Each structure stands twice: as structure tokens, then as C-alpha cells.
């Protein structure tokens, strides 16, 4: 893309700017991590490295319990949002009503957390009321608790938050897949499911796994929807928010922020490295392909 007349200096400056923005977005986070390892916390004149604050956090029964809930929710979100992302991406490929489908799938992105959370809260409370009424009227006890605020309603909030991302990531991977391979498999005698599992899935696997990682991280990070929809339990980020609001910037909250960011960076960092290494390999293969292999 660069031509011989592009100024080297200008080009370098632009790169510096790009990296500078990434750095500026990341620097505060690194600073938080840095402080979280100081025995004396934020604002102290001296810095003594310690992991004590992490010990305090991980030794706190309530925090560990919240971490467990976070993990359950994340696993449930992956188990639901990723298959749904896959189904909707396939639907998008097939349907004539592409604009409608994509609008519906991406719309939740455009409804801010607090708006969606409070709407869902009110919706579920009404729904719960209706189900209780029906349950009592018919004497069906099993019907009464379906939409009580709790794990399920929190999960709905999380699915709404993560599904658009899962959909987009999988759809982008799928756009590189040639659908005639599915047809070729069908004409070899495969059922629709076999064709998907033997032929398509191996080729979009990377996208599905990235979607899983995205959903896990987004679910970990999500605070607002869970806070309103969760009912009785707390997730890690819920606790962090209430810490920040009630206690202010305590040493523990730095350590908690540290845990969240280090976790996310580890997962995303490994995916990025894997992706880069893989695309490097694919490129090498592409180069090998470009060279004449043999005569016909």
C-alpha cells in the first residue's frame, strides 16, 4: 500500500500515534495493576511489592462465592450464546431476510446496559406475577417460579449482551467458508448435521472458539444487567462496583480490578498470539500454493 513517495517520517509518526492510542487506553489499567501490588496502595510515597491484597481478596469467602457465581454464569452464557450465535449466523447465510435478521441480532448492542437491565427487570417481574397467578389458579406449583429473578433471568441478560458479539465473530469467520463444500458433502451422502460437523465446523472452529472466549470475558466483565436481574447472588463485578461506591478506592478494589484485567488480558492475549501465529502459517501455505507445484 505504501508507495515510494510516502514520507518515512510521516509514516512513522502515524504508527506512533496508533500505538500511542492503544497505549493510552491500556496504561491506566497497567497503572491499576501496578498499584494493586503495592503494600501501601494508591497515593503512597513508597512502593513495596506485595501480593497481599490478592491474598485478602481470594481469602474473602464472600468474594470467592461471587467468583463462583461469575464462573457459573460465564459457562452458562458460553453454552447458550455461542450455539445461538452459530445458529443465527447460519440462518443469516440462508435467509432472504438478511437485513431483518442482522438488525435484530445487533440491536441489543445499541440498547445501553441500564436501559436494557431495567426494562428486563420490570418485564420479568410482570411475567413472574402472571406465571404465579396462572400457577395458583391451576394449582400448578411448578409454573410459579419460572421467571423469579435469579440465575435464569441474569443469564437472559448476559445472553442479550454477548449474543451480538458471538454472532458477528462467527459470521466473519463463516464468510471465508465456501458453502458448496457443504453441498459436496451432502452429495457424498452426508446428512445436514454430518456435513456441518465433518466439513464446515473444522473450518470455522477458530471463530467459534474466539466467540467462546469473547463471551466468557464479556460475561465476566458484565455488571449492570446482572446487578438488576440476579436476585439473590452477587458476581465478582457486582461486588467490585459496590466496593467502589461504598468504600471508595480501597486496596482490595485495586486487587479486584487487577484480577479482572489480568484475567481478560491473559485470555485475549493468548487468542491474539494464537491467531497471529495461525495467520502466519496460513500465509506461508498460501505462498506455497502460489508457486507452481507441478505440471498437470
Q: Are 42 and 244 in contact (CB under 8 A)?
A: no
Q: Does 121 bind another protein (CB under 8 A)?
A: yes
State which residue, 97 or 140, has the beta carbon closest to another protein.
97
Q: Are 204 and 173 in contact (CB under 8 A)?
A: yes
DSSP state at residue 147: T
As a dihedral over the C-alpha atoms of residue 70, residue 72, residue 73, residue 74, rounded to 10 degrees, the angle is 80
Q: Is the backbone of residue 41 left (phi > 0), alpha (psi -120 to 50) or beta?
A: left
Q: Does 17 bind another protein (CB under 8 A)?
A: yes
Q: Are 59 and 196 in contact (CB under 8 A)?
A: no
Q: Are 101 and 85 in contact (CB under 8 A)?
A: no
Of 61, 110, 137, 138, which one interacts with another protein (CB under 8 A)?
110
Residue 220 beta carbon to another protein: minimum distance, rounded to whole angstroms:
7
Residue whose C-alpha cell is 487506553? 25
Residue 95 beta carbon to another protein: minimum distance, rounded to whole angstroms:
8
Among residues 131, 141, 153, 173, the alpha carbon closest in space to that of 271 is found at 173
Q: Does 9 bind another protein (CB under 8 A)?
A: no
Q: List binders of another protein among 141-170 (CB under 8 A).
A: 156, 159-160, 163, 167
Q: List binders of another protein among 257-286 (CB under 8 A).
A: 257, 260-261, 264-265, 267-269, 272, 275-276, 279, 283, 285-286
If binding means CB under 8 A, how many residues of this protein chain bind another protein?
Answer: 113
Residue whose C-alpha cell is 473444522? 202
Q: Does 32 bind another protein (CB under 8 A)?
A: yes
Q: Are 262 and 58 in contact (CB under 8 A)?
A: no
Q: Does 190 bind another protein (CB under 8 A)?
A: yes
Residue whose C-alpha cell is 478494589? 253
Q: List binders of another protein among 52-71 (CB under 8 A).
A: none
Q: Does 250 bind another protein (CB under 8 A)?
A: no
By CB under 8 A, which span of 50-58, 70-78, 132-140, 186-194 interacts with another protein? 186-194
Q: Does 99 bind another protein (CB under 8 A)?
A: yes
**Rounded Cα distance, 241 and 231, in Å:** 16
Residue 141 beta carbon to another protein: minimum distance, rounded to whole angstroms:
23
Residue 42 beta carbon to another protein: minimum distance, rounded to whole angstroms:
5
Q: Does 105 bind another protein (CB under 8 A)?
A: yes
Q: List binders of another protein among 198-217 (CB under 8 A).
A: 198-199, 202-203, 214, 217
By CB under 8 A, which span of 26-34, 54-62, 66-74, 136-144 interacts with another protein? 26-34
State which residue, 24 or 141, has the beta carbon closest to another protein.
24
Q: Does 96 bind another protein (CB under 8 A)?
A: yes
Q: Does 25 bind another protein (CB under 8 A)?
A: yes
Q: Does 287 bind another protein (CB under 8 A)?
A: no
**Rounded Cα distance, 47 and 35, in Å:** 9
Residue 160 beta carbon to another protein: minimum distance, rounded to whole angstroms:
6
Q: Is 255 helix (H, G, I), strand (E, B) or coil?
A: helix
Distant-in-sequence, close-in-space partners of 152: CB < 8 Å, separation ≥ 6: 146
Where b means 16+ CB within 10 Å and e means fewer, 7-19 reads eeeeeeeeeeeee
Amino acid at each position: 500500500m505504501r508507495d515510494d513517495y510516502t514520507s518515512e517520517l510521516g509514516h512513522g509518526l502515524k504508527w506512533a500515534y496508533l500505538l500511542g492510542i492503544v497505549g493510552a487506553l491500556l496504561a491506566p489499567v497497567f497503572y491499576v495493576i501496578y498499584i494493586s501490588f503495592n503494600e501501601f496502595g494508591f497515593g503512597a510515597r513508597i512502593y513495596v511489592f506485595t501480593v497481599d491484597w490478592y491474598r485478602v481478596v481470594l481469602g474473602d469467602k464472600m468474594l470467592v462465592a461471587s467468583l463462583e457465581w461469575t464462573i457459573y454464569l460465564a459457562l452458562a452464557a458460553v453454552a447458550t450464546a455461542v450455539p445461538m450465535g452459530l445458529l443465527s449466523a447460519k440462518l443469516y447465510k440462508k435467509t432472504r431476510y438478511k437485513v431483518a435478521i442482522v438488525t435484530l441480532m445487533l440491536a441489543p448492542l445499541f440498547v445501553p446496559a441500564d436501559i436494557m437491565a431495567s426494562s428486563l427487570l420490570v418485564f420479568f417481574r410482570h411475567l413472574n406475577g402472571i406465571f404465579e397467578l396462572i400457577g395458583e389458579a391451576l394449582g400448578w406449583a411448578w409454573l410459579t417460579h419460572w421467571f423469579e429473578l435469579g440465575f435464569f433471568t441474569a443469564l437472559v441478560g448476559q445472553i442479550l449482551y454477548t449474543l451480538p458479539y458471538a454472532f458477528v465473530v462467527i459470521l466473519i469467520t463463516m464468510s471465508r467458508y465456501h458453502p458448496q463444500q457443504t453441498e459436496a458433502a451432502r452429495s457424498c451422502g452426508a446428512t445436514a448435521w454430518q456435513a456441518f460437523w465433518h466439513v464446515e465446523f473444522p473450518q470455522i472452529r477458530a471463530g467459534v472458539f474466539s466467540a467462546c472466549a469473547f463471551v466468557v470475558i464479556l460475561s465476566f466483565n458484565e455488571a449492570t444487567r446482572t446487578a438488576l436481574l440476579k436476585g439473590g447472588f452477587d458476581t465478582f463485578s457486582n461486588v467490585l462496583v459496590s466496593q467502589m461506591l461504598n468504600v471508595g478506592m480501597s486496596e482490595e478494589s485495586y486487587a479486584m480490578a487487577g484480577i479482572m484485567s489480568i484475567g481478560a488480558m491473559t485470555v485475549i492475549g493468548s487468542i491474539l498470539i494464537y491467531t497471529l501465529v495461525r495467520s502466519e502459517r496460513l500465509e506461508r501455505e498460501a505462498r506455497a500454493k502460489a508457486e507452481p507445484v507441478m505440471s498437470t
